[in-house]
Amino acid sequence: MPTTSTLEDQLAVIGLAYGRKQDIAYRAGLIAQVLGLAVVSALYPLESPFYTAGIMLFELGVLLSAAYLLVWKRQVKRMVLGLVLTGFMIQAVGYFAAPEQYAGTALLAGIGFVCAGAAGVAGKEAYFFGYWEGWLLAMLGFPLMVFANLFGKEHRVFNSFGFAALFLLLFSLTGRKLRQSLWGKGQMTEIRRQT
């Protein structure tokens, strides 16, 4: 009798249930992030006010991916999901309850927390699958964009190139993720062969 167990057996032992539906929802979140960044990177340089729709789509994608994130330690998932939910709450307070002079700062801070959660999702893909795009997004892309906009000073040229770079990296990462087969029996064996 073999002493090694499959990932599915290990997940069952620790009480995690993760199947095809969760994997599809996670990937749908990645697709929504890419589409949101595509809208932002296309409309922001044109100074269109509709780029905010792209930000909302990106944020919903991050929320969906964070909710269905599969990691070994629950604390990691809680932290990533907590960052995203904190970002949503800060934005809601900034929009509905903050005084006008602080509303913009609160919205930017909330977006920053969501981007920190997105960095966590990309970092998971980088760590588990060795995707270089995930490392760049988690360690440079999202943090650099957050810090550049942290104090509410808009840098249109920098942001335009930054959004485009985030879009290209996330597009590549999502393409690699979508080429993987959906979660199921023997998934780990197939993943090990791909990397």
Helical ranges in the chain per DSSP H: 7-14, 20-43, 51-67, 74-96, 100-129, 132-136, 142-148, 156-179, 187-194
Domain presence at residue 16: yes
User: From CA 84, how far away is CA 67, in angstroms rounded?
Assistant: 9
pLDDT of residue 154: 75
Domain presence at residue 3: no
pLDDT of residue 71: 83
User: Which domain range does residue 143 map to?
Assistant: 11-194
CA dihedral 70, 80, 30, 151 (to 10 degrees): -170
- Return averaged pLDDT per consecutive 10 residues of the chain, 195 residues in all: 54 63 91 97 93 95 93 88 95 90 88 94 92 94 89 82 95 93 58 44
Neighbours of 69 (CB within 10 A): 22
pLDDT of residue 85: 96
Domain presence at residue 1: no
Domain presence at residue 5: no
Domain presence at residue 4: no
Domain presence at residue 132: yes
Domain presence at residue 6: no
User: From CA 146, how far away is CA 79, in angstroms rounded?
Assistant: 18
Residue 123 sits at the vertex; the CA angle it makes with 121 and 125, to the nearest 5 degrees, is: 75
pLDDT of residue 73: 82
pLDDT of residue 74: 85
**How many domains does the chain contain in total?**
1
Domain presence at residue 75: yes
- The burial class, CB within 10 Å (0-12 / 13-18 / 19+), for 67 is middle
pLDDT of residue 178: 92
